[in-house]
A and B are shown apart, each in its own frame.
Chain A
Amino acid sequence: MSVRLLVLFLALGLGAPARAAAGAASGSEAPEILVSRGLLRECGLSPGDVVMLSADPHGADARLFRVAGVYEPVPDPARFTAKRLEARMHLPDLLALTADPGEAAAADAVGAINIALKDPADAPAFARELAARAPAMSVVPAAAADDEHFVIIERFHLAISVVTMIGSTAFLLALMVIRADERREVAGLLRLLGLRRRRILAQALLEGLAIASAGAVFGVLFAAATQGAVNAFFQWRYDTTLVFVRVTPAIAARCVALALPLGVMAGLMASWTLLRRPVLDLLRR
């Protein structure tokens, strides 16, 4: 069992006087804290500094802490736009800092308890059982809580992709119609030479397949090559290590699986609209 401490909104009383006072009060005896990379940069801290933390907005009852190190907060997709100004400290230090002296129970109270199960698959059953035994507690499997945001965002992106795909299919069809139209006379000549419609359609199918394959491979390679730039931009913009775009083999396969039939179908449809006409019409006679 581990207890996660999120000390997000403690008022930080930092600055030269605070540090001087801290130094005078022998900062080496102060309890240690870890500060997030964002907080370290925002407040110009460095490991070894002694800082004063207070739960009071005016800095009352501040306590000294020594910055033992810096950590990268676990990226949280639900909060990636927020500045991660956080610190981690030992639970007794946090309770001493925040508990109301007039409330005896506050010295032994925590906001949440994180539990790691031996078998993570047992999480839903464990949550149900614990909730039944301790009705006053809210028990939520961590994976279930996180998944919902991902599912919604994924659905949104999927819907956008479908719309983009419909638009690009219309574009592709228009291109194929133009292309077929340009080869109208060639198709007429081939028909006159004795080639059957099916033979010419097979040729169009192979051509469509080749073009669609080349386009799909180019698209996947382009996405793979640019994913680094997209991630770098968003990671810079939101100061996070979260990965926004990842071209996985499954996604690449899905793209190719969608693009190939679409390309082939567009080629066939465009060719068929041409080939069903009489030969003399194709030759403009």
Chain B
Amino acid sequence: MSPLQFAWRSLSRQPARAWLGLTGMAVVGALLFDMLLLSRGLLVSFRDLLESTGFDIRVTATEALPGMGPALSDAASTAERLRGLPELADVVPVRFGSVALDDGDADGGGLRGAKRRGLAIVASEPRRRAEWKVVQGSDLAERGPGGRPEIVVNRAFAREEKVEPGSLVRLGSAPPAREFRVAGIVEFPFEAAGERMAGVTLAGFLDAFPAARRDEADLLLVASRPAVGAEAAVAAIRRARPDLHTFSIEDVLERLRQAEFSYFRQVSVVLATIASFFALLLVTTLLTVSVNQRLGEVAALRALGFSRRRITADLVAESALLVGGGGIVAVPLGLALARALDSILRRMPDLPQRLHFFVFEPRALALHAGFLVLAALLAAAYPVLLAARLPIAATLRKESVS
């Protein structure tokens, strides 16, 4: 009989205990698996978001987050100079702003006004890349029919204001508000749930914010040439404009890893450690008790010629069955739990809708398996020691007397 079959029989003799052990392992394993998903989930998800824009480099005036620090002056000439670099495929200046929509009613032609609610504005050039995804209508043109500036809006805004492509909206940071023609409904990569967002051209931005300084940009979005790569392109920009702050996606993620996202990483490390310790304690306890109750049986097996190695193999197999069985159930259980926990955390205000805290990676599965193998081996260590050191004759005598 193989050690695995032997271990199976040992567990089957105490079904309640085995089921409880497996249940405990499955729950603790699910928690461990989730913490592994959480430890890198935000970074993986954020990388996907950044990459989905089609731009792999960001250039700002200072280290502050775009839109929160001083803007980049001479944006047009800076963008033009960077476009001349052979390492770069595209450079697009971007501006951010926010307005409260004009409260006035329509004055015909489907014109609609919003009531006291803000609208986040992203301004960019008519594009060649996927800063946002058009879901209805068309993308921005420099000027619409009748010379009106164009605007693209997200679903939340379109739904609340009941606008569609062709509708007119009035917006402005100060009276009088300007009319914009809705060119299309789009999906912004970083839009938060329920957040009202709109995109306009750089010229349209100045229509909406007449007091804004001309020729400024909060951010330059840069796409490197695929053959060159982001790192070489970043180096080229730094050589050309050392006064600017240039970040590749990796740089941005590193910064987030060190600061903004670090809390959830710390939480995941703490909880993963607790879960691993808990799993270890559970299996060690079950195996130790099991060995203590079967001392006579172990001694008899040794007397029949079972080697120490064989007894060790039996106990390790028993540990592997408990940990492995629980660990396998833990994966689907963990995925379901991760989905529930993710839905809780994603309700945080101002969080991009497409950002996830728990993201599945094959790496997490491999780590999960590694942790469980380690737990199975460590959990078996003490019971193995007990069984291996067992004095055969004395134990048999004690068993027969009792």
Mark A residues whose CB is within 8 Å of B: 8-11, 55-58, 80-83, 100, 103, 105-106, 131, 135-138, 148-149, 152, 155-156, 159-160, 163-164, 166-168, 170-171, 173-175, 177-178, 181-182, 234, 237-238, 273
Are A81 and B31 in contact, with the CB atoms below 8 A? no
Say yes or no for B383: interface residue by CB 8 A criterion: no
Task: Please name 16 pairs of A and B residues whose Cβ atoms are closer than 8 Å in the assembled complex, sorted by A.
Answer: A9-B62, A11-B69, A81-B262, A81-B263, A82-B259, A135-B103, A136-B103, A137-B116, A148-B349, A152-B345, A163-B27, A163-B337, A170-B23, A171-B24, A174-B21, A177-B16
Query: A80 — which chain B residues lie within 8 A by C-beta?
Result: 263
Query: A163 — which chain B residues lie within 8 A by C-beta?
Result: 27, 30-31, 337
- How many angstroms between the C-alpha atoms of A164 and B116 in the bound complex? 45
Are A9 and B20 in contact, with the CB atoms below 8 A? no
Q: Pick the most buried of B30, B118, B278, B344: most chain A CB atoms within 10 A of its CB.
A: B344
**Which residue of the partner chain B has the closest CB to A103?**
B211
**CB-contact partner of A57 in B20, B70, B271, under 8 A:** B70
Are A138 and B70 in contact, with the CB atoms below 8 A? no
Not counting A148-B349, A171-B281, a sample of 5 additional A-B residue pairs whose C-beta atoms are within 8 angstroms of each other reads A57-B61, A57-B62, A81-B259, A138-B100, A167-B24
**CB-contact partner of A171 in B30, B68, B174, B278, under 8 A:** B278
**CB-contact partner of B70 in A9, A81, A148, A170, under 8 A:** A9
* Binding-face segment, B129-137, B229-237, B282-290, B368-376: B282-290
Query: A173 — which chain B residues lie within 8 A by C-beta?
Result: 20
Are B24 and A174 in contact, with the CB atoms below 8 A? yes
- How many angstroms between the C-alpha atoms of A168 and B27 in the bound complex? 9
Are B100 and A106 in contact, with the CB atoms below 8 A? no
Q: Which size class do B's interface residues fall under?
A: 35 or more
Say yes or no for B340: interface residue by CB 8 A criterion: yes
Q: Within the complex, what minimum Cβ distance (angstroms) separates B294 from chain A?
A: 12
Say yes or no for B123: interface residue by CB 8 A criterion: no
List which B273-329 residues lie within 8 A (CB) of chain A: 274-275, 278, 281-282, 285-286, 289, 293
**Which residue of the partner chain A has the closest CB to B34?**
A163
List of 6 A-B pairs having minimum Cβ-Cβ separation, nearest first: A170-B24, A167-B27, A174-B20, A9-B69, A57-B61, A9-B64
Are B348 and A159 in contact, with the CB atoms below 8 A? no
Are B100 and A11 in contact, with the CB atoms below 8 A? no
- How many angstroms between the C-alpha atoms of A57 and B100 in the bound complex? 28
Q: Within the complex, what minimum Cβ distance (angstroms) separates A266 from chain B?
A: 10
Are B266 and A105 in contact, with the CB atoms below 8 A? no
Say yes or no for B397: interface residue by CB 8 A criterion: no
Q: Pick the most buried of A55, A105, A178: most chain B CB atoms within 10 A of its CB.
A: A178
Are A168 and B278 in contact, with the CB atoms below 8 A? yes
Query: B263 — which chain A residues lie within 8 A by C-beta?
Result: 80-81, 238
Are A167 and B20 in contact, with the CB atoms below 8 A? no
- How many angstroms between the C-alpha atoms of A148 and B260 in the bound complex? 18
**CB-contact partner of A55 in B20, B23, B70, under 8 A:** B70
Query: B24 — which chain A residues lie within 8 A by C-beta?
Result: 167, 170-171, 174
- How many angstroms between the C-alpha atoms of A49 and B215 in the bound complex? 36
Q: Within the complex, what minimum Cβ distance (angstroms) separates A257 from chain B?
A: 22
Q: A-facing mask of B2-15, CB < 8 A → 1, else 0?
A: 00000000000010
Q: Within the complex, what minimum Cβ distance (angstroms) separates A11 from chain B?
A: 6
Are A170 and B20 in contact, with the CB atoms below 8 A? yes
**Which residue of the partner chain A has the closest CB to B334?**
A163
Are A178 and B289 in contact, with the CB atoms below 8 A? yes
**CB-contact partner of A148 in B20, B28, B61, B348, under 8 A:** B348
- How many angstroms between the C-alpha atoms of A138 and B345 in the bound complex? 26
Say yes or no for B213: interface residue by CB 8 A criterion: yes
Say yes or no for B159: interface residue by CB 8 A criterion: no
Q: Within the complex, what minimum Cβ distance (angstroms) separates B277 from chain A?
A: 12
Q: A-facing mask of B199-224, CB < 8 A → 1, else 0?
A: 00000000000010100000000000
Q: Within the complex, what minimum Cβ distance (angstroms) separates B120 from chain A?
A: 12
- How many angstroms between the C-alpha atoms of A8 and B62 in the bound complex? 12
Query: B68 — which chain A residues lie within 8 A by C-beta?
Result: 8-9
Say yes or no for B81: interface residue by CB 8 A criterion: no
Query: A106 — which chain B residues lie within 8 A by C-beta?
Result: 211
Query: A138 — which chain B residues lie within 8 A by C-beta?
Result: 100, 116, 118
- How many angstroms between the C-alpha atoms of A159 and B337 in the bound complex? 9
Are A149 and B348 in contact, with the CB atoms below 8 A? yes
Query: B278 — which chain A residues lie within 8 A by C-beta?
Result: 167-168, 171
Q: Pick the most buried of A135, A155, A163, A237: most chain B CB atoms within 10 A of its CB.
A: A163
Q: Within the complex, what minimum Cβ distance (angstroms) separates A86 from chain B?
A: 12
- How many angstroms between the C-alpha atoms of A57 and B62 in the bound complex? 6
Are B347 and A57 in contact, with the CB atoms below 8 A? no
- How many angstroms between the C-alpha atoms of A148 and B69 in the bound complex? 26
Q: Within the complex, what minimum Cβ distance (angstroms) separates A102 from chain B?
A: 8
Are A105 and B31 in contact, with the CB atoms below 8 A? no
Query: B69 — which chain A residues lie within 8 A by C-beta?
Result: 9, 11, 57
Query: B259 — which chain A residues lie within 8 A by C-beta?
Result: 81-83
Query: B289 — which chain A residues lie within 8 A by C-beta?
Result: 178
Q: Within the complex, what minimum Cβ distance (angstroms) separates A147 from chain B?
A: 10
Say yes or no for B341: interface residue by CB 8 A criterion: yes
Are B118 and A174 in contact, with the CB atoms below 8 A? no
Query: B20 — which chain A residues lie within 8 A by C-beta?
Result: 170-171, 173-174, 177
Q: Within the complex, what minimum Cβ distance (angstroms) separates A40 from chain B?
A: 19
Q: Within the complex, what minimum Cβ distance (angstroms) separates A22 from chain B?
A: 21
**Which residue of the partner chain A has the closest CB to B337?**
A163
Query: A105 — which chain B residues lie within 8 A by C-beta?
Result: 174, 211
Q: Within the complex, what minimum Cβ distance (angstroms) separates B285 from chain A?
A: 7
Q: Within the complex, what minimum Cβ distance (angstroms) separates B275 from chain A?
A: 8
Q: Within the complex, what minimum Cβ distance (angstroms) separates B305 from chain A?
A: 28
Q: Within the complex, what minimum Cβ distance (angstroms) separates B289 from chain A?
A: 5
- How many angstroms between the C-alpha atoms of A80 and B340 in the bound complex? 25
- How many angstroms between the C-alpha atoms of A136 and B117 in the bound complex? 8
The answer to whether residues A135 and B211 also contact, given A81-B263, A159-B344 and a CB cut-off of 8 A, is: no
Query: B14 — which chain A residues lie within 8 A by C-beta?
Result: 181
Are B347 and A159 in contact, with the CB atoms below 8 A? no
Q: Within the complex, what minimum Cβ distance (angstroms) separates B276 from chain A?
A: 12
**Which residue of the partner chain A has the closest CB to B288?**
A178
- How many angstroms between the C-alpha atoms of A96 and B341 in the bound complex? 48
**Which residue of the partner chain B has the closest CB to A174?**
B20
**Which residue of the partner chain A has the closest CB to B30?**
A163
